[in-house]
Amino acid sequence: MEGKVAGITDQAAIASPRRAPTQQRSRERVERMLSAASALIAEQGSDAMRMGEVAERAGVSIGSLYQFFPDKRAIVWTLAERYTAESQACIAAALKDVSDAEGLSQAFSELVDIYYRLFLAEPVIRDIWSGTQADKALRELELADSRANAEFLVAVLKRLRPDADPVALETTAFLVWQMGEAAMRLAISVDREEGDRLVAAYKRMALRELVGG
């Protein structure tokens, strides 16, 4: 992700990378750094990750690493921002052509399933979002992400309910997405069978609010 998510405060400046790479060689070096960090987070978690380990695994000097990332918070922020951009693109694509309640129900259910599979399969994503409550910048990123995702859903709801109160639709959509994040965290914190039931229950509750029935 090259840009920033709207709605982030100065906390983002604290957590963000020192500078963005401009040359191809620099971009490739940064990708190696992020790949190394992802692997280390998957193995031991972000709390245990050390900048020296990232540099060593990426095959760069520690000075080169610090040129782009002043600390590991900046690395985690970049990975979180990248994941946010990818998820928003997926949601936008899934919802852009929805024009009826059946289509919304199907698209929303599929998106929840995709999210759940990602949380189950990607330890980096789990690590990043499990730490949001302890990091103000990541909390704000998640909140802005939920608001952005809610806007995609609001656009669909306005097509389905043109006479509805737009503020009410925005509130519903925002709450649905924010609850979805919480549901995913809960689902991956318990055994898989119970997690599956929790995700299914969330989908039923959310869809009752979105499309009724």
Go through 52-78 and write b for each residue having 16 or more CB atoms within 10 A of its CB, e for each that does not: ebbbeebebeeebbebbbbebbbbbbb
Beta strands in 87-148 (DSSP E): none
pLDDT recorded at residue 8: 44
Cα separations in angstroms, 170 against 8, 44, 153, 174, 209 = 19, 39, 8, 6, 13
**DSSP-based three-state secondary structure for 50:** coil
- Of all residues in the chain, what percent carry a pLDDT higher than 70? 87
Highest mean pLDDT among 40-49, 115-124, 134-143, 198-207: 198-207
Distance, in Å, from the CA atom of 116 to the CA atom of 127, rounded to the nearest integer, reads 14
Mean pLDDT of the chain: 86
* Predicted confidence (pLDDT) per residue in 112-160, tens digit: 999 899 888 888 887 877 766 677 777 887 888 889 999 999 999 999 9
Confidence band for 9, pLDDT divided at 50, 70 and 90? very low
DSSP state, residue 163: T
Q: Which residues contact 49 (CB under 8 A, 6 or more apart)?
A: 37, 40, 41, 72, 75
Q: What is the pTM of this model?
A: 0.77
